[in-house]
C-alpha cells in the first residue's frame, strides 16, 4: 500500500468523521427547533379593554401589555435609534453578525463568563418568539439557525416590525406602542426624538433603565443613545442638543388603578365566570359596561367632600384619628344596569367593596318593607297607629323588650304616612307585630334581599345585616311598577375581531303588584317632602327614599330613587365604632345621595312616578288622616288603592 494512498484514506476518514460529528451536532441542535411557519399563525396575548356606557376607557386587563402597530407609524428616529443601539449592521447581515460574534467570544473567553452578547435584532426576535432566556452554547446555536430562517422568509422591514412589536420595554409593556402609552401617555407616532431615544435604550436592561423606577439612569441612557445617533450622523447637532435638554415628562402610571376601581374589581369576578381569566388577560377582548362615568365621578367627588366634613365633625366631637368609610351604589330602575359604584374611599388603601360585600344593619331604611307589606294587605296610608311606649314579653325569665323612638318623644295617634316620613320606631314595631314578622321577611326577600333575616320583632328596626346593593335593588322595585331587576354591569363582550361573543340581557321578575308599588312609592316620596329627607327637595325633581341610622350612630344610610335611578349610600366605621353624636342618615349619608341624584337627573326628560289605573289620588291631612274632597290648608295629595 503506497504512502499516498494511506494518507488519502486517513484524510477521507478524518473528513468523514468531522462531517459526521458536524452533522450530528447540527441535527442534534435542530431536531427540536420550533417550526418557523408557526409565526404565520402567531397570536401574542393582547390587551382586553373595559369601556363605560358612553365609550370611555375605564380599565385594561393584560398579562403582557401589547398593542401591535405597523412599521409605517413608528417614527424614523425610533427605528434608527433601535437599530444603532441594538444592531448597527442590521441591513448588512443575514441574521447573524459574524464579526460581532467573534468580538463577543474574545471578551467572554477573557472574562470566563457571558459578559457580552452579539445577538442581532433577528436573533433577539427568534429568542423572544421561540426560545428561552437561558445562556448556553446550545441556545445560541438554535438562535442563529432560527435567525437564518427568519431572514430567508421575511424582509428586513417585516423583521423590524415584528421586533418593535414584541420586545420588552419594562413595566409590563411589550412593543413600542404599549411602552409609549405607559411611559408617556400617548401613541408611538407622537413621540419626540428624546422620547424615541429613551425607549431605544430600554431593551438592554428594562428594569435598570425604566424611567418610572430610575429616572436619572433613564436620562443618562437616553443621552448615550442620542450621542450615538449624532456620532453616526443620524441626527443633526441642533437636534441632538435640543433633545438632551428636553425634560423627562412621564405619564406617571405606576400601577393599574382604573377609573371606578371598585366597579372594575366587581366586574373582574363576573368576567372570570363568563370568559375565564385566561381569555380576559390574553385575548384582547372589548368589554362594554353599564357604568355612567359622569355619575361615578360625581359620586366620588361628593364622597371626598362630605367625608372630609364628617371627619372634621368627628374631631370636633373628640373622636381620635377618625377614618370613616363610605359606599354608594346606583342602578337603573328598569333594566338593573349598574350606573355607579364605590366600595370605599380609596381602593389603593382598601380594596374591600363595602357596597357589595359588607353586611351592615340597615336601621330604619328597612321600614319600607314593613309599610309595603301593610299596603299589600289592604292597609291605607291614612290609617292611624299608636305611637307610644310599648313593651313586648320575651318569655319566662327574660327581660321584656321595650323599643324607643330615636327622639325619645311620642306622638300618640299618628298616620302611617307620617310615621314613615318621620321614621318613628314604635309604629313600625307595632305594625310588624300586627302583620307578622315572618311575612315581613318574606316580603323583603321577594324584593331582592337575600341575606338571612331574623324572625323577631327587632327586624322591624333593621337589625338584620344586609348589603347596600341588596337594599338598593329592593328599593328599585317600587318605582319599577313592582318588577324586580337583577343588577347587571356588562352589556356586551367582543373578541379581538369585533365579533360579539357574549351579550348581557336584563333579568326581571314580578315582585309585588303595580298598585301596591305606586302607593309605597308615594309614601316614600313623603319622606322627602314632609319628613327626614327634606334636604333632597333642593333638586326640585320627583324623588323618594328613606333614612337609616343604627344604634349609637354606628351606621348612617340613605336609600331612594327617582323614576329612573335607584341609589343607596352607607357611611360608617369598619370597626363598628360610632360616627359621633347626631351623625344620622340624614346628616352623614343624605348629602352624598343628593349629589348623586342631582347628577342622575341631568340631561334626562321630566318624569313622574307611576300612577296606575288601580290607584286614586286623594287629599288627606297627614296628621289626622282625614280625607277632603278638595285641597285644604295642610292637606297633601296621596295615593290610595281603588276599592
Q: What does the alpha-carbon distance between residue 135 and residue 117 come to, in Å, rounded to a whole number?
A: 10
Contact 290, 488 (CB under 8 A): yes
Give strand pairing partners of 545: 560
Burial classification of residue 154, based on how many CB atoms lie within 10 Å of its CB (0-12 exposed, 13-18 middle, 19 or more buried): middle
86 is catalytic: yes
CA distance 280 to 49: 9
Q: CA 544, CA 475: separation in Å to the nearest integer?
A: 10
Task: Give Cβ neighbours of residue 166 (< 8 Å, ≥ 6 apart).
Answer: 44, 66, 125, 128, 129, 174, 175
Dist. CA 106–CA 455, nearest whole Å: 85
Q: Which three cell numbers stand for residue 49?
A: 379593554
Distance from C-alpha of 549 to C-alpha of 585, rounded to nearest angstrom: 5
Phi first, then psi, for residue 455 (nearest 5°) are: -105, 50
Catalytic residue from among 48, 364, 423, 464: 364
DSSP one-letter code for 400: P
Go through 277-294 and write b for each residue having 16 or more CB atoms within 10 A of its CB, e for each that does not: eebbbbbbbbbbbbbbbb
Is 37 one of the annotated active-site residues of the chain?
A: no
Give strand pairing partners of 557.
Answer: 548, 570
CA angle in degrees (0–180, nearest 5) for 129-132-134: 145
On the 0-12 / 13-18 / 19+ scale of CB atoms within 10 A, 608 is exposed
Q: DSSP characters for 225-261?
A: HHHHHHHTTSS-HHHHHHHHHS--------S-PPSSH
Eight-class DSSP state of 463:
-
Dihedral angle at the C-alpha atoms of 409, 410, 411, 414, nearest 10 degrees?
130
C-alpha angle with apex 17: 11 to 23, nearest 5 degrees? Answer: 135
Reference 449, options 467, 462, 461; nearest CA is: 467
**409 grid coordinates:** 318623644
Element at 315 (helix H, strand E)? helix 293-316
**Main-chain dihedrals φ then ψ at residue 619, nearest 5 degrees:** -100, 125
Cα gap 85→556, rounded to integer Å: 62
Do 609 and 518 touch, CB atoms closer than 8 A?
Answer: yes
DSSP 8-state secondary structure symbol assigned to residue 501: E
The sign one gets for the Cα dihedral 300, 305, 306, 311 is: positive
In the chain, count of helices (H) and strands (E)? 21, 19
* H or E stretch at 509: strand 508-510
Name the active-site residue from 53, 86, 161, 195. Answer: 86
Q: List C-alpha distances in Å: 603 to 295, 539, 565, 606.
A: 12, 14, 13, 9
C-alpha cell at 260: 371606578
- Active site members: 86, 364
Amino acid at each position: 500500500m503506497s504512502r499516498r494512498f494511506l494518507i488519502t484514506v486517513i484524510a477521507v476518514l478524518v473528513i468523514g468523521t468531522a462531517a459526521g460529528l458536524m452533522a450530528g451536532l447540527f441535527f442534534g441542535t435542530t431536531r427540536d427547533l420550533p417550526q418557523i411557519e408557526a409565526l404565520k399563525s402567531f397570536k401574542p396575548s393582547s390587551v382586553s379593554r373595559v369601556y363605560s356606557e358612553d365609550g370611555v376607557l375605564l380599565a385594561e386587563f393584560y398579562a403582557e401589555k401589547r398593542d401591535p402597530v405597523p412599521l409605517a407609524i413608528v417614527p424614523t428616529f425610533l427605528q434608527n435609534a433601535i437599530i444603532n443601539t441594538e444592531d448597527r449592521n442590521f441591513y448588512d447581515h443575514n441574521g447573524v453578525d459574524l464579526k460581532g460574534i467573534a468580538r463577543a467570544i474574545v471578551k467572554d473567553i477573557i472574562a470566563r463568563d457571558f459578559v457580552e452578547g452579539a445577538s442581532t435584532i433577528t436573533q433577539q426576535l427568534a429568542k423572544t418568539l421561540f426560545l428561552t432566556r437561558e445562556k448556553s452554547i446550545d441556545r445560541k446555536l438554535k438562535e442563529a439557525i432560527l435567525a437564518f430562517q427568519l431572514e430567508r422568509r421575511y424582509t428586513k422591514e417585516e423583521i423590524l416590525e415584528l421586533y418593535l412589536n414584541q420586545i420588552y420595554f419594562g413595566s409590563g409593556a411589550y412593543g413600542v406602542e404599549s411602552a409609549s402609552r405607559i411611559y408617556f401617555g400617548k401613541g408611538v407616532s407622537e413621540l419626540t426624538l428624546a422620547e424615541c431615544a429613551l425607549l431605544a435604550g430600554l431593551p438592554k436592561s428594562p428594569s435598570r433603565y425604566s424611567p418610572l423606577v430610575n429616572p436619572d439612569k433613564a436620562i443618562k441612557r437616553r443621552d448615550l443613545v442620542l450621542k450615538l445617533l449624532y456620532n453616526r450622523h443620524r441626527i443633526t447637532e441642533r437636534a441632538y442638543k435640543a433633545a438632551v435638554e428636553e425634560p423627562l415628562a412621564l405619564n406617571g402610571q405606576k400601577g393599574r388603578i382604573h377609573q371606578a376601581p371598585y366597579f372594575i374589581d366587581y366586574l373582574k369576578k363576573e368576567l372570570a365566570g363568563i370568559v375565564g381569566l385566561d381569555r380576559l388577560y390574553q385575548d384582547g377582548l372589548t368589554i362594554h359596561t353599564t357604568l355612567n362615568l359622569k355619575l361615578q365621578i360625581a359620586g366620588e367627588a361628593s364622597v371626598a367632600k362630605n367625608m372630609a366634613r364628617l371627619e372634621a365633625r368627628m374631631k370636633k366631637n373628640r373622636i381620635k384619628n377618625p377614618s370613616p368609610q363610605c359606599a354608594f351604589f346606583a342602578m337603573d330602575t328598569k333594566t338593573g344596569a349598574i350606573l355607579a359604584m364605590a366600595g370605599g374611599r380609596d381602593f389603593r388603601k382598601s380594596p374591600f367593596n363595602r357596597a357589595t360585600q359588607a353586611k351592615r344593619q340597615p336601621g330604619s331604611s328597612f321600614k319600607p318593607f314593613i309599610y309595603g307589606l301593610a299596603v299589600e294587605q289592604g292597609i291605607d296610608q291614612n290609617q292611624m297607629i299608636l305611637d307610644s311606649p310599648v313593651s313586648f314579653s320575651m318569655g319566662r325569665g327574660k327581660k321584656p323588650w321595650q323599643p324607643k323612638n330615636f327622639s325619645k318623644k311620642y306622638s300618640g295617634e299618628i298616620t302611617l304616612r307620617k310615621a314613615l316620613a318621620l321614621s318613628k320606631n314604635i309604629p313600625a314595631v307595632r305594625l310588624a307585630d300586627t302583620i307578622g314578622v315572618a311575612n315581613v321577611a318574606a316580603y323583603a326577600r321577594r324584593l331582592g334581599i337575600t341575606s338571612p333575616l331574623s324572625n323577631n320583632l327587632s327586624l322591624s328596626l333593621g337589625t338584620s345585616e344586609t348589603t347596600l346593593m341588596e337594599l338598593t335593588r329592593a328599593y328599585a322595585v317600587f318605582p319599577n311598577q313592582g318588577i324586580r331587576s337583577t343588577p347587571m354591569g356588562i352589556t356586551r363582550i367582543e373578541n379581538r375581531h369585533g365579533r360579539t361573543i357574549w351579550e348581557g340581557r336584563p333579568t326581571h321578575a314580578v315582585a309585588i303588584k303595580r298598585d301596591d308599588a305606586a302607593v309605597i312609592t308615594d309614601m316614600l316620596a313623603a319622606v322627602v317632602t314632609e319628613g327626614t329627607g327634606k334636604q333632597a327637595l333642593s333638586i326640585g325633581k320627583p324623588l323618594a327614599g328613606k333614612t337609616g341610622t343604627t344604634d349609637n350612630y354606628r351606621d348612617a344610610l340613605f336609600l331612594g330613587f327617582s323614576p329612573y335611578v335607584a341609589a343607596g349610600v352607607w357611611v360608617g366605621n369598619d370597626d363598628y365604632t360610632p360616627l359621633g353624636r347626631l351623625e344620622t342618615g340624614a346628616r352623614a349619608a343624605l348629602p352624598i345621595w343628593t349629589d348623586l341624584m342631582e347628577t342622575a337627573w341631568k340631561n334626562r326628560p321630566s318624569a313622574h312616578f307611576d300612577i296606575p289605573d288601580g290607584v286614586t289620588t286623594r287629599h288627606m291631612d297627614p296628621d289626622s288622616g282625614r280625607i277632603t274632597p278638595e285641597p285644604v290648608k295642610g292637606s297633601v295629595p296621596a295615593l290610595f288603592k281603588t276599592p
